């Protein structure tokens, strides 16, 4: 039977309540022939979006700014459903890598639904978790770029359900792997059945492509720099010129190596952090070494014997396809090493089973991207940002990371933010050793706020005004030069990234015509090869272009607030907020939904 015919018959049934009628219609709409089925449980954070639109407000006193050339990492304090909704306006199709570590739903106070912990006796335990994850993963899919990839940590409690859910959302053909991560080297000795050492990392691509994953270089293709028949010589190697396949740390001469270390050597992120002098039976003299360095020759030390090797053409270096087993053989740490990492930086009373930086860094490097944008919307202690900044330091990259977490028990402020603040600024560890900061990074802190969703004229003006920080995030332009250039901040905002990009936001005011005229002259005088991003309170793009017709060739024009409404409208359809609440189904509410003030007015239902 046709679904619409069946729904029509249900609507004509007598003797049932509105709740019963709505329930039956919902069953028809959600019936599957195959797949994961669960009882959808309404969520307070979701219902809040029926009447409110999320925006982001920067906490400027928490900003850590080290230069315009550095990536602007973003930390958002708030519920991740609200933050993800806001990100659909700023980052739809722009996220290259997502890593998340959601609650595992163990029943041991690790998962809250509507402000209550879900325990093992809850008969809707799995349904609540699936409802929670389904909404967030569907929005996450919208954020992924066409060749984007998502990694999700999970354990046995929900692994099977998560795989089926992701098969439905991301499509089974886009499944890449179910990695097995060795989470501990000391599993519980008192386990009566199985001593569990591993958890899972599920991996899907947005659209599966033919790119190769890599966990580094394979052995071979390089040749020794040592020759026992040559006289001993001392060679000086520049910082970051040697790849080390031994653990990071401080190395000094021990008299047992084929190559002597003349001065202390610091290995960090797999490279020599400092200039080093080595003594051995080398094939080359210093002048030859310096020429090879200029030509891009690669130097490699694989063992503690320091038998240095070289390879002239790095393009011939072969990469190693990763195993689905993630453990110490790939230099990946455990929960225990992760706890030590956090405790070196901040007091940790909240995270018993954190993920190590090495695990996240390994995953972020698996698929090759040019300076990817990375998202973690279950940010916890902030390991994903720490790993991102460590990778930038390692290879000179410009990756950007976005973190989202709530501030329950002040976690966002006292752990997530404080940890990464110290990573950037530097800190003294528990042994009293001063650790240099990763200063080539900026960090900006935002909180989620709300504007009423009804489309009254007043709310449209409020949303346009309150969307400034969202637009700054979208365009990566934060430096406010409004008043410096003689404009009133109540009428407009003018921003730059400091390296040639400009953003203009025009608000509603009685002087809007004069403001636009003055902005036309301002834009005329700008010397920039990139078009000015212009967002303005306007009913449509054509009207906006008429106001700025003299500089049409120098601007990209976007009318507000309709651009935000459009982004949120699509997201709310994913959440089925365009539908009536299940318990409400009468003509009065139907009429209300079709009124001119709703977000879905004059829109076809999907």
- Confidence class of residue 516 from pLDDT cuts 50, 70 and 90? very high
What pLDDT is recorded for position 603? 52
* 52-215+321-447 CATH, one of 3.40.50.300, 3.40.50.620, 3.40.50.150, 3.40.50.1370: 3.40.50.150
Tell me the two tokens of residue 315: 């393009």
Determine what percent of the chain is predicted with pLDDT higher than 70: 92
Segment among 16-20, 34-38, 103-107, 299-303 with least mean pLDDT: 34-38
CB neighbour list of residue 464: distance below 8 Å, 6 or more residues apart: 505, 507, 508, 537, 560, 561
Q: Is the pLDDT of residue 587 over 70?
A: no
**String of DSSP letters for 287-319:** HHHHHHHHHT-EEEE-STT---EEES-GGGPPB
The answer on pLDDT for 597 being more than 80 is no
- What is the predicted pLDDT for the residue at 562? 94
Tens digits of per-residue pLDDT, 210-255?
999 988 766 556 778 887 667 889 999 999 999 998 888 899 888 7
Confidence check: pLDDT of 525 > 80: yes
Domain ranges of the chain: 52-215+321-447, 223-316, 454-565
Mean pLDDT of 165-172: 96
User: Taking 60 as the threshold, does the pLDDT of residue 171 lie above it?
Assistant: yes
Residue pointed to by tokens 């060795």: 182
What pLDDT score does 484 carry? 93
> In this model, does residue 485 exceed pLDDT 80?
yes
Evaluate if residue 470 carries a pLDDT over 60: yes
d(CA 392, CA 187): 34
CB 416 within 8 A of CB 75: yes
- Which strands, in side-by-side order, build the sheet including 260-261? 233-237, 276-280, 260-261
Closest CA to 227 of 311, 309, 313, 314: 309
Q: What pTM was estimated for this model as a whole?
A: 0.80
Q: 382: left (phi > 0), else alpha (psi -120 to 50), else beta? A: left
DSSP state of 186: S
Give per-residue pLDDT as tens, 119-133: 888 888 889 999 999
Report phi then psi at 523, rounded to 5: -65, -35
pLDDT at residue 601, as a whole number: 61
Instruction: Tell me what pLDDT residue 600 has.
Output: 65
Read off the pLDDT band of 432 (50, 70, 90). Answer: confident
Average pLDDT on 506-532 reads 94
Residue with tokens 């002040």: 410
Pick the range with the lowest mean pLDDT from 40-44, 403-407, 408-412: 40-44
Residue 494: CB atoms within 10 Å: 24
Q: What is the mean pLDDT of the chain?
A: 88
Question: CA dihedral in degrees (244, 247, 250, 252; nearest 10)?
Answer: -70
Q: Kind of pairing, strands 260-261 and 325-326?
A: unpaired
> How much is the average pLDDT of 508-512?
94
- The per-residue pLDDT for range 24-77, each reduced to its tens digit, is 777 777 666 677 777 777 788 888 898 999 999 999 999 999 999 999 999 999
pLDDT of residue 320: 82
Residue 578 has pLDDT above 60, yes or no: yes
| pLDDT score for 208 | 95
352 compared with 414, residue with greater pLDDT? 414
H/E segment holding residue 250: strand 249-251
Question: Residue 583 pLDDT > 50, yes or no?
Answer: no
Average pLDDT estimate for 536-561: 94
**Distance separating alpha carbons of residues 89 and 568, to the nearest angstrom:** 7
The pLDDT score that the predictor gives to residue 590 is 46
pLDDT of residue 585: 41
């Amino acid at each position: 039977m046709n679904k619409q015919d069946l729904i029509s018959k249900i609507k004509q049934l007598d003797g049932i309540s509105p709740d019963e009628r709505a329930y039956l219609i919902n069953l028809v709409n959600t019936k599957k022939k195959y797949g994961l089925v669960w009882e959808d449980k309404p969520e307070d954070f979701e219902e809040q979006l029926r009447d409110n639109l999320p925006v982001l407000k920067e906490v400027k006193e928490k900003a850590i700014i080290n230069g315009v050339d550095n990536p602007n990492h973003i930390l958002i304090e708030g519920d991740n459903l609200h933050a993800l909704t806001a990100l659909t306006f700023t980052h739809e199709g722009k996220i290259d890598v997502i890593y998340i570590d959601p609650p595992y739903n163990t029943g041991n106070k690790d998962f809250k639904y509507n402000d209550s912990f879900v325990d093992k006796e809850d008969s809707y335990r799995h349904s609540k978790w699936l409802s929670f994850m389904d909404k967030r993963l569907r929005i996450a899919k919208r954020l992924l770029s066409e060749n984007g990839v998502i990694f999700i940590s999970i354990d046995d409690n929900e692994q099977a359900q998560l795989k089926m859910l992701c098969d439905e959302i991301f499509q089974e053909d886009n499944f890449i792997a179910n990695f097995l991560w060795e989470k501990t080297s000391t599993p519980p000795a008192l386990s009566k059945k199985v001593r569990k050492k591993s958890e899972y990392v599920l991996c899907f691509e947005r659209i599966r492509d033919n790119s190769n994953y890599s966990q580094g270089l394979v052995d071979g293709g390089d040749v020794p720099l040592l020759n026992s028949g040559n006289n001993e010589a001392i060679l000086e190697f520049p910082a970051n010129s040697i790849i080390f396949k031994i653990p990071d740390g401080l190395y000094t001469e021990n008299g047992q190596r084929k190559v002597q270390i003349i001065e202390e050597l610091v290995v960090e992120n797999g490279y020599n952090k400092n200039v080093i002098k080595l003594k051995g039976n080398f094939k080359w003299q210093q002048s030859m070494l310096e020429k090879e360095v200029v030509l891009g020759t690669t130097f490699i030390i694989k063992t503690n014997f320091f038998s240095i090797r070289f390879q002239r053409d790095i393009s011939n270096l072969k990469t190693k396809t990763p195993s689905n087993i993630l453990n110490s053989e790939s230099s990946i740490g455990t929960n225990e090493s992760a706890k030590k990492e956090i405790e070196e930086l901040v007091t940790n009373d909240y995270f018993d089973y954190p993920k190590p930086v090495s695990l996240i860094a390994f995953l972020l490097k698996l698929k090759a991207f040019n300076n990817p944008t990375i998202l973690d919307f279950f940010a916890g202690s902030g390991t994903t940002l720490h790993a991102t900044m460590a990778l930038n330091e390692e290879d000179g990259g410009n990756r950007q990371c976005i973190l989202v977490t709530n501030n329950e028990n002040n976690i966002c402020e006292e752990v997530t933010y404080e940890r990464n603040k110290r990573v950037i600024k530097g800190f003294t560890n528990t042994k009293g050793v001063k650790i240099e900061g990763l200063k080539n990074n900026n960090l900006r802190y935002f909180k989620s706020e709300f504007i009423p969703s009804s489309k009254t004229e007043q709310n449209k003006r409020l949303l346009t005004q309150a969307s400034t920080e969202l637009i700054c995030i979208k365009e990566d332009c934060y430096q406010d030069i409004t008043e410096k250039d003689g404009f009133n901040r109540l009428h407009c905002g003018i921003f730059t990234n400091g390296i040639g990009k400009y953003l203009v936001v025009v608000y509603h005011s009685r002087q809007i015509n004069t403001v636009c005229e003055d902005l036309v002259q301002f834009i005329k005088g700008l010397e920039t090869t990139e078009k000015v991003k212009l967002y303005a309170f306007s009913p449509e793009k054509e009207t906006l272009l008429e106001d700025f017709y003299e500089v049409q060739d120098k601007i990209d024009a976007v009318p507000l607030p309709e651009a935000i409404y459009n982004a949120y409208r699509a997201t709310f359809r994913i959440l089925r907020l365009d539908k009536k609440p299940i318990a409400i189904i009468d003509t009065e509410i139907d009429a209300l939904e079709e009124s001119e003030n709703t977000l879905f007015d004059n829109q076809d239902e999907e």
